[in-house]
Amino acid sequence: MGVKEIDFLKYRKLAYLVSVILIVSSLVLLFTRGLNLGLDFTGGTVIEVRFKEKVDMGDLRKKLSEGGLSAFSLQQTGEGTVIVKLRIDQDPSKALKVLEEMGEYELIRRESIGAVVSEELRSKAVWAIVVALIGILIYLGFRFEPLWGAGAILALIHDVLIVLGAYSLFHREVNLEVVSAFLIVAGYSVADTVVIYDRIRENLRVRKNLPFYEIVNISVNQTLSRTIMTSLTTFATSLALFILGGHALSNIMFAFVVGVIVGTFSSVFVASSFVNDVKSLLGKGAKEASEEA
């Protein structure tokens, strides 16, 4: 037992309590406050212009905010044009007035994205997440056991709900780029969980006389250095991009900053603890059934 240093499963009830509080808080926020859906999901206006002289994007963003616009995104293309995306509840005339103040420009296009298109994008985003979760469940079910796959999916749902709750709490915009970030965070969490599961499976073969509880603890400790180094490296990079990456990039990296924390937490405490507790309950049930027989 020299390998085991921390009894992680000893703290699983406290971890469950923390998870329940975070998930319930996230659900309350989602149902009461909702999400700040971006142009991709609500519809709105796209304005693309080419300025005669180069403009500072930070200054343009500031002036748009001061001009009474609260829900917009800016993008500078490789062709030298500037794209302003306005949510459906924003007044395009205010954006055009600010653009005029920034300097002489050529209007390339002004388009409206209707609710039908946005509804289709919203539906596809939801299906992308559902299909990804089903694919992960099937993969882990075949690679390990269905119960282990269920533990990983539980951890994934745990992570996605808490990240969504964080977006709702801070009223951050949710667009297609953020949805893709959710999927990446889910993949990161699964990769961490699979590493721990692999070590548990290996220890089940070489430490056959130990109870499953002890094997889980040993496995988590054996992979702890890898988990910490991977998580810290990813978190540090994400945090740097979140702070220094500008408005658009920071909105995406917010999912990574929160997701790395909750993903590491769920891999260590939620996924493995769930498998241990369900196995324990099934074992007790089978023992009681045999005694009654």
How confident is the model over 29-62, as pLDDT tens digits?
999 998 888 777 777 888 888 888 888 888 888 8
| Residue 18 scores a pLDDT above 90 | yes
Check: CB of residue 40 under 8 Å from CB of residue 118: yes
Beta partners for 84? 47, 74
Integer Cα distance of 240 and 250 in angstroms: 9
Domain ranges for the chain, please list them.
8-37+118-286, 44-113
What sign does the dihedral 264-268-271-274 (CA atoms) show?
Answer: negative
Under 8 Å between Cβ of 115 and 87: no
Is the pLDDT at 168 greater than 90, yes or no? Answer: yes
103 to each of 53, 56, 91, how far by Cα in Å? 7, 11, 20
pLDDT, tens digit, 9 for 90 and up, residues 242-265 = 998 777 688 899 999 999 999 999
pLDDT above 50 for 291: no
Protein fold of 44-113: Alpha-Beta Plaits (3.30.70)
Nearest to 75 by CA among 65, 85, 66: 85
Q: Do domains 8-37+118-286 and 44-113 have the same CATH topology?
A: no
Residue with tokens 């309590």: 17
pTM over 0.85: no
pLDDT at 292: 41
User: Has domain 8-37+118-286 been given CATH number 1.20.1640.10?
Assistant: yes
Q: Higher confidence at residue 3 or residue 255?
A: 255
pLDDT tens profile 107-160:
888 888 776 556 777 777 778 778 877 787 777 777 777 788 888 888 888 998
